[in-house]
């Protein structure tokens, strides 16, 4: 019997075979969820000028020295207008949030704290400091400062920064080209009515959908359980794609040709069969810069292998550090086989603690059970009993 590779070892091998897919330039509005391949620096000071941060009046604090609290209004400094100058040091200018602070002023008092009548503003508060309600030039960031580090994942916050510094096009790490291949002569298309002994394809679509979370648009294909056809098509895929992702035909069946065909095509096998449930028949190999993930055909097996192995490989290839989330088991669980067990759980945040409630399924074929599930909890091998209150790693797959 073939020796099983432990889960930690399988993952170690996989992260030792990450790839660099290079760099491309995209419009900043298309960079969400992408990984920056350049640092984003401040093109000017932020704020770029002494910026009024309250609607009100601007004046000079020297004018307060003789007890004066009434100022004639010389005019209005609007946001988006060139800087005005206060002409008479005893007067003031109305100023709007976002405007440049007028020359010869050093203090802003908001409308809430003044009264305006007949062109004069009277202060209702006099304990005033220089630079009050003024966001000083360069206070947030100096020109040239790195605002977003290379290797950051772009969220709405980074999109805003890209806009601010005028980065209309931005360098991001290129995505791998992925083909998702189903095999299995029992499979028919989604729009077909299966005969008694047939079922519809589903794994290729769950995989393609999971890839979309990482912004990867995969090509989906189906191959018959036929050695020659597999050989010819896989030869072509090894040229056209960076990643080949199979689902099925990696176990002991008479038509499980994938390992043999990959061997013929000189794809180096790094391991076949992992000591885990579900997902034991998982096969992993590489040929030059090409990476082959051959997942088992059962829906839940494929699902969990994607999360545990491909997702980490992808994140590491992109230079991202995968988050190691843990959760607290909310019920005792027993699992006898000496395998790492990926337990299906529903997740709940209770007062800042992440609780994982086991959701009973009918094994690796029961895809419908996953709709109640938020994550897989990884229970280590070498133990049979896992207790309420213990913490274990989780693999989540939903966005909120």
Give least dist CB 7 to its own copies, A. Answer: 20
* Closer CB to its own copies, 136 or 287, in the complex: 136
Spatial contact of 153 and 34, defined as CB atoms under 8 Å apart: yes
Distance CA 161, CA 40 (A): 8
Give least dist CB 91 to its own copies, A. Answer: 17
The token pair at 348 is 């709940």
Peptide bond into 284 cis (omega under 30): no
Burial class (CB in 10 A: 0-12, 13-18, 19+), 272: buried
* Closer CB to its own copies, 111 or 263, in the complex: 111
Give least dist CB 288 to its own copies, A. Answer: 30
Spatial contact of 86 and 58, defined as CB atoms under 8 Å apart: yes
* Closer CB to its own copies, 287 or 365, in the complex: 365
Give least dist CB 132 to its own copies, A. Answer: 14
**Residues in the chain, how many?**
400
* Closer CB to its own copies, 212 or 385, in the complex: 212
* Closer CB to its own copies, 238 or 243, in the complex: 243
Spatial contact of 40 and 60, defined as CB atoms under 8 Å apart: no
* Closer CB to its own copies, 87 or 111, in the complex: 111
Give least dist CB 266 to its own copies, A. Answer: 26
Please name the residue that has the structure tokens 């191959």.
Answer: 223
**Alpha helices by DSSP H, 241-366:** 258-264, 299-305, 311-317
Give least dist CB 200 to its own copies, A. Answer: 5
The token pair at 35 is 């990984």
For 4, what's the count of Cα atoms within 13 Å in the CB-facing half-sphere?
16
Could you tell me how many helices (H) and strands (E) the chain has, helices first? 7, 28
* Closer CB to its own copies, 189 or 239, in the complex: 189
Spatial contact of 318 and 35, defined as CB atoms under 8 Å apart: yes
* Closer CB to its own copies, 288 or 389, in the complex: 389
Distance CA 77, CA 45 (A): 21
Distance CA 298, CA 248 (A): 7
Question: Maximum distance among all alpha carbons in the chain?
Answer: 100
Left (φ > 0), alpha (ψ -120 to 50) or beta: where does 215 sit? Answer: left
Give least dist CB 287 to its own copies, A. Answer: 27
Give least dist CB 209 to its own copies, A. Answer: 4
Dihedrals phi, psi of 355, to nearest 5 degrees = -100, 140
Give least dist CB 238 to its own copies, A. Answer: 25
* Closer CB to its own copies, 194 or 288, in the complex: 194
**DSSP 3-state helix, strand, coil percentages of the chain (rounded to 5)?**
20, 35, 45
Give least dist CB 115 to its own copies, A. Answer: 13
Left (φ > 0), alpha (ψ -120 to 50) or beta: where does 98 sit? Answer: left
* Closer CB to its own copies, 108 or 238, in the complex: 108
């Amino acid at each position: 019997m073939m020796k099983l590779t432990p889960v930690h070892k399988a993952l170690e091998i996989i992260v030792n075979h990450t790839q660099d897919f290079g760099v491309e330039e995209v419009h900043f509005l298309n960079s969400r969820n992408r990984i920056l391949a350049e640092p984003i620096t401040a093109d000017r000071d932020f704020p770029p000028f002494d910026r009024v941060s309250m609607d009100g009046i601007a004046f000079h604090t020297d004018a307060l020295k003789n007890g004066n609290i009434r100022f004639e209004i010389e005019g209005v400094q609007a946001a988006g207008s060139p800087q005005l100058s206060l002409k008479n040091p005893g007067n003031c200018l109305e100023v709007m949030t976002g405007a440049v602070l007028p020359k010869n002023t050093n203090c802003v008092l908001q409308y809430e704290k003044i009264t305006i009548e007949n062109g004069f503003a009277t202060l209702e508060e006099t304990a005033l400091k220089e630079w009050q309600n003024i966001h000083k030039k360069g206070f947030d960031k100096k020109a040239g400062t790195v605002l977003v580090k290379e290797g950051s994942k772009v969220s709405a916050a980074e999109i805003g920064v890209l806009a601010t510094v005028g980065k209309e096009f931005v360098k991001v790490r290129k995505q791998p080209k992925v083909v998702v291949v189903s095999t299995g002569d029992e499979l028919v298309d989604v729009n077909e009515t299966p005969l008694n002994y047939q079922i519809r394809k589903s794994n290729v679509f769950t995989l393609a959908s999971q890839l979309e979370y990482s912004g990867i648009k995969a090509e989906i294909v189906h191959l018959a359980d036929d050695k020659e056809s597999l050989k010819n098509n896989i030869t072509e895929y090894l040229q056209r794609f960076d990643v080949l992702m199979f689902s099925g035909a990696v176990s002991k069946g008479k038509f499980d040709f994938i390992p043999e065909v990959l061997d013929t095509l000189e794809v180096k096998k790094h391991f076949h069969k992992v000591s885990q449930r579900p997902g034991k028949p998982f096969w992993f190999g590489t040929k030059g810069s090409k990476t082959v993930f051959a997942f088992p055909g059962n829906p839940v097996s494929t699902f969990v292998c994607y999360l545990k192995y491909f997702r980490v490989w992808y994140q590491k290839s992109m230079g991202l550090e995968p988050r190691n989330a843990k959760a607290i088991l909310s019920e005792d669980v027993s699992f006898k086989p000496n395998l790492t067990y990926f337990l299906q759980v529903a997740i709940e945040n209770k007062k800042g603690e992440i609780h994982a409630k086991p959701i009973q399924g009918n094994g690796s074929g029961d895809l419908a059970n996953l709709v109640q599930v938020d994550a897989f909890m990884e229970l280590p091998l070498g133990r049979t009993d896992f207790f309420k209150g213990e913490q274990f790693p989780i693999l989540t797959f939903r966005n909120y």
